Structure 1
Amino acid sequence: MPETIIRKVREQRNYTQDFVAKQMGISQNAYSKIENGYTQLTVKHIKELSKILEVSLMELLRDDFEIHKPNHIHTESINKDNLLMAINQIADKLNEKHPQKHDFYPIVMSLLQTVDTTVDNIH
Protein backbone atom coordinates (compact mmCIF):
# COMPACT_ATOMS: atom_id res chain seq x y z
CA MET A 1 0.00 0.00 0.00
CA PRO A 2 1.22 3.54 -0.68
CA GLU A 3 0.81 4.38 3.01
CA THR A 4 3.47 1.79 3.89
CA ILE A 5 5.86 3.17 1.30
CA ILE A 6 5.25 6.73 2.48
CA ARG A 7 6.02 5.79 6.08
CA LYS A 8 9.12 3.85 5.03
CA VAL A 9 10.52 6.70 2.92
CA ARG A 10 9.70 9.26 5.62
CA GLU A 11 11.56 7.19 8.20
CA GLN A 12 14.53 6.70 5.84
CA ARG A 13 14.77 10.49 5.52
CA ASN A 14 14.54 10.82 9.33
CA TYR A 15 11.53 13.10 8.92
CA THR A 16 8.91 13.21 11.65
CA GLN A 17 5.22 13.03 10.92
CA ASP A 18 4.97 16.56 12.27
CA PHE A 19 7.59 17.84 9.80
CA VAL A 20 5.86 16.28 6.79
CA ALA A 21 2.45 17.46 8.01
CA LYS A 22 3.68 21.05 8.32
CA GLN A 23 5.15 20.89 4.81
CA MET A 24 1.73 19.74 3.56
CA GLY A 25 -0.11 22.38 5.57
CA ILE A 26 -2.07 19.86 7.64
CA SER A 27 -2.00 18.72 11.26
CA GLN A 28 0.18 15.86 12.45
CA ASN A 29 -3.02 13.97 13.32
CA ALA A 30 -4.34 14.40 9.75
CA TYR A 31 -1.00 13.22 8.35
CA SER A 32 -1.00 10.21 10.68
CA LYS A 33 -4.38 9.22 9.23
CA ILE A 34 -2.83 9.25 5.74
CA GLU A 35 0.02 6.95 6.82
CA ASN A 36 -2.38 4.62 8.63
CA GLY A 37 -4.78 4.37 5.70
CA TYR A 38 -7.69 6.14 7.38
CA THR A 39 -7.60 9.01 4.89
CA GLN A 40 -7.71 8.08 1.23
CA LEU A 41 -4.79 9.50 -0.70
CA THR A 42 -5.58 12.01 -3.41
CA VAL A 43 -3.48 12.91 -6.43
CA LYS A 44 -2.70 16.18 -4.66
CA HIS A 45 -1.42 14.29 -1.58
CA ILE A 46 0.80 12.06 -3.71
CA LYS A 47 2.25 15.03 -5.61
CA GLU A 48 2.98 16.90 -2.37
CA LEU A 49 4.52 13.86 -0.72
CA SER A 50 6.63 13.17 -3.79
CA LYS A 51 8.19 16.63 -3.51
CA ILE A 52 8.57 16.60 0.27
CA LEU A 53 10.05 13.08 0.42
CA GLU A 54 12.07 13.63 -2.78
CA VAL A 55 10.85 10.47 -4.54
CA SER A 56 9.00 9.92 -7.78
CA LEU A 57 5.24 9.54 -7.97
CA MET A 58 5.70 6.02 -9.30
CA GLU A 59 7.89 5.12 -6.33
CA LEU A 60 5.11 6.14 -3.95
CA LEU A 61 2.52 4.18 -5.95
CA ARG A 62 4.59 1.12 -6.79
CA ASP A 63 2.67 -1.39 -4.64
CA ASP A 64 -0.69 -0.49 -6.12
CA PHE A 65 0.44 0.49 -9.57
CA GLU A 66 3.47 -1.51 -10.55
CA ILE A 67 4.32 -1.86 -14.19
CA HIS A 68 5.79 -5.23 -15.07
CA LYS A 69 7.84 -6.03 -18.12
CA PRO A 70 5.89 -8.46 -20.29
CA ASN A 71 7.22 -12.01 -20.47
CA HIS A 72 7.02 -11.93 -24.23
CA ILE A 73 7.35 -8.82 -26.34
CA HIS A 74 5.98 -9.05 -29.86
CA THR A 75 8.78 -7.96 -32.14
CA GLU A 76 6.86 -8.49 -35.35
CA SER A 77 5.14 -5.52 -36.90
CA ILE A 78 1.44 -5.05 -36.21
CA ASN A 79 -0.85 -3.38 -38.65
CA LYS A 80 -2.70 -0.15 -38.05
CA ASP A 81 -6.15 -1.80 -38.02
CA ASN A 82 -5.18 -4.20 -35.20
CA LEU A 83 -3.67 -1.35 -33.20
CA LEU A 84 -6.79 0.78 -33.62
CA MET A 85 -8.99 -2.14 -32.62
CA ALA A 86 -6.96 -2.66 -29.42
CA ILE A 87 -7.11 1.05 -28.59
CA ASN A 88 -10.86 1.09 -29.16
CA GLN A 89 -11.29 -1.87 -26.80
CA ILE A 90 -9.37 0.01 -24.09
CA ALA A 91 -11.46 3.14 -24.74
CA ASP A 92 -14.67 1.10 -24.39
CA LYS A 93 -13.50 -0.28 -21.04
CA LEU A 94 -12.63 3.22 -19.80
CA ASN A 95 -15.99 4.59 -20.90
CA GLU A 96 -17.73 1.98 -18.74
CA LYS A 97 -15.96 3.32 -15.64
CA HIS A 98 -16.98 6.34 -13.59
CA PRO A 99 -13.87 8.61 -13.43
CA GLN A 100 -14.73 10.21 -10.07
CA LYS A 101 -14.67 6.77 -8.41
CA HIS A 102 -11.16 5.79 -9.51
CA ASP A 103 -8.01 7.34 -8.05
CA PHE A 104 -5.90 6.18 -10.96
CA TYR A 105 -8.07 7.79 -13.64
CA PRO A 106 -5.70 10.81 -13.95
CA ILE A 107 -2.73 8.46 -14.32
CA VAL A 108 -4.47 6.43 -17.02
CA MET A 109 -5.43 9.61 -18.86
CA SER A 110 -1.83 10.83 -18.64
CA LEU A 111 -0.60 7.54 -20.10
CA LEU A 112 -3.10 7.82 -22.94
CA GLN A 113 -1.97 11.38 -23.66
CA THR A 114 1.64 10.13 -23.79
CA VAL A 115 0.63 7.44 -26.27
CA ASP A 116 -1.24 10.04 -28.32
CA THR A 117 1.83 12.30 -28.42
CA THR A 118 4.04 9.37 -29.34
CA VAL A 119 1.73 8.37 -32.20
CA ASP A 120 1.74 11.97 -33.46
CA ASN A 121 5.52 11.79 -33.74
CA ILE A 122 5.57 8.57 -35.77
CA HIS A 123 6.40 9.22 -39.40
Structure 2
Amino acid sequence: MNKIIGDKLKMLRKQKGWSQEETSDYLAISQSAYARIENGVSHSWANHLEKIGEVFSVTLEELVKKETSDCKDNKQKQL
Protein backbone atom coordinates (compact mmCIF):
# COMPACT_ATOMS: atom_id res chain seq x y z
CA MET A 1 0.00 0.00 0.00
CA ASN A 2 2.81 2.44 0.82
CA LYS A 3 4.27 2.00 -2.66
CA ILE A 4 0.89 2.61 -4.34
CA ILE A 5 0.38 5.81 -2.35
CA GLY A 6 3.97 6.92 -2.96
CA ASP A 7 3.69 6.37 -6.71
CA LYS A 8 0.44 8.31 -6.87
CA LEU A 9 1.82 11.18 -4.83
CA LYS A 10 4.85 11.36 -7.10
CA MET A 11 2.61 11.44 -10.18
CA LEU A 12 0.36 14.11 -8.69
CA ARG A 13 3.36 16.19 -7.62
CA LYS A 14 4.89 16.04 -11.08
CA GLN A 15 1.55 16.96 -12.68
CA LYS A 16 1.66 20.17 -10.67
CA GLY A 17 5.29 20.73 -11.61
CA TRP A 18 6.36 20.82 -7.96
CA SER A 19 9.58 19.64 -6.38
CA GLN A 20 9.56 17.38 -3.34
CA GLU A 21 10.59 20.38 -1.27
CA GLU A 22 7.66 22.49 -2.49
CA THR A 23 5.24 19.64 -1.83
CA SER A 24 6.62 19.00 1.63
CA ASP A 25 6.20 22.71 2.42
CA TYR A 26 2.51 22.52 1.45
CA LEU A 27 2.11 19.46 3.67
CA ALA A 28 4.11 21.05 6.53
CA ILE A 29 6.58 18.16 6.76
CA SER A 30 10.28 17.87 6.01
CA GLN A 31 11.49 17.11 2.51
CA SER A 32 13.14 13.92 3.72
CA ALA A 33 9.90 12.73 5.35
CA TYR A 34 8.04 13.43 2.11
CA ALA A 35 10.71 11.59 0.08
CA ARG A 36 10.27 8.52 2.31
CA ILE A 37 6.51 8.61 1.68
CA GLU A 38 7.01 8.89 -2.08
CA ASN A 39 9.53 6.04 -2.05
CA GLY A 40 7.07 3.79 -0.20
CA VAL A 41 9.35 3.51 2.82
CA SER A 42 7.08 5.35 5.24
CA HIS A 43 3.42 5.01 6.10
CA SER A 44 3.24 8.49 7.63
CA TRP A 45 1.14 9.60 4.64
CA ALA A 46 -1.79 8.36 6.71
CA ASN A 47 -1.15 11.19 9.18
CA HIS A 48 -1.51 13.74 6.38
CA LEU A 49 -4.50 12.42 4.43
CA GLU A 50 -6.66 15.52 4.85
CA LYS A 51 -3.90 17.88 3.74
CA ILE A 52 -2.90 15.60 0.83
CA GLY A 53 -6.52 15.63 -0.32
CA GLU A 54 -6.61 19.43 -0.18
CA VAL A 55 -3.26 19.97 -1.87
CA PHE A 56 -3.88 17.54 -4.73
CA SER A 57 -7.70 17.74 -4.90
CA VAL A 58 -8.10 13.98 -4.50
CA THR A 59 -10.25 11.80 -2.30
CA LEU A 60 -8.93 9.01 -0.12
CA GLU A 61 -10.46 6.49 -2.52
CA GLU A 62 -8.63 8.01 -5.50
CA LEU A 63 -5.39 7.91 -3.57
CA VAL A 64 -5.55 4.27 -2.51
CA LYS A 65 -6.90 2.75 -5.74
CA LYS A 66 -4.36 0.73 -7.70
CA GLU A 67 -5.51 2.27 -10.98
CA THR A 68 -4.03 5.64 -11.80
CA SER A 69 -6.82 6.81 -14.13
CA ASP A 70 -8.57 8.70 -11.34
CA CYS A 71 -5.52 10.84 -10.71
CA LYS A 72 -5.09 11.46 -14.44
CA ASP A 73 -8.76 12.42 -14.73
CA ASN A 74 -8.21 14.82 -11.84
CA LYS A 75 -5.49 16.57 -13.81
CA GLN A 76 -7.86 17.08 -16.77
CA LYS A 77 -10.54 18.51 -14.47
CA GLN A 78 -8.08 21.15 -13.24
CA LEU A 79 -7.21 22.33 -16.77
| TM-score w.r.t. length of structure 1 | 0.47
User: Which structure 1 segments of 5+ residues have no match?
Assistant: 65-123
Report which of the two structures shows the higher radius of gyration computed on alpha carbons.
Answer: 1
Paired residue type of 1:56: T
- What RMSD over aligned residues (CA atoms) do the two structures have, in Å? 1.8
Identity of aligned residues (%): 27
> How far off is 1:56 after superposition?
1.7
> How far off is 1:25 after superposition?
1.4
Q: Which residue of 2 aligns with 1:55?
A: 58
- Aligned pair count? 64
Point out which structure has higher relative CO (alpha carbons under 8 A, 6+ apart): 2
Cα distance in structure 1, aligned partners of 2:18 and 2:36: 16
Q: Which residue of 1 aligns with 2:12?
A: 9
- CA gap 1:32/1:63 in 2 versus in 1, 3 angstroms: same
Cα distance in structure 1, aligned partners of 2:8 and 2:43: 14
- Between Structure 1 and Structure 2, the one with more helix by share is 2
> How far off is 1:17 after superposition?
0.8
Cα distance in structure 2, aligned partners of 1:43 and 1:30: 13
Q: Deviations over 1:74-119 (max 9, x none)?
A: xxxxxxxxxxxxxxxxxxxxxxxxxxxxxxxxxxxxxxxxxxxxxx
Q: Deviations over 1:42-72 (max 9, x none)?
A: 43322221111122221111129xxxxxxxx
Query: 8 Å contact 1:46–1:60 — kept in the other structure?
Result: no
Which of 9-18 and 38-47 deviates more?
Answer: 38-47
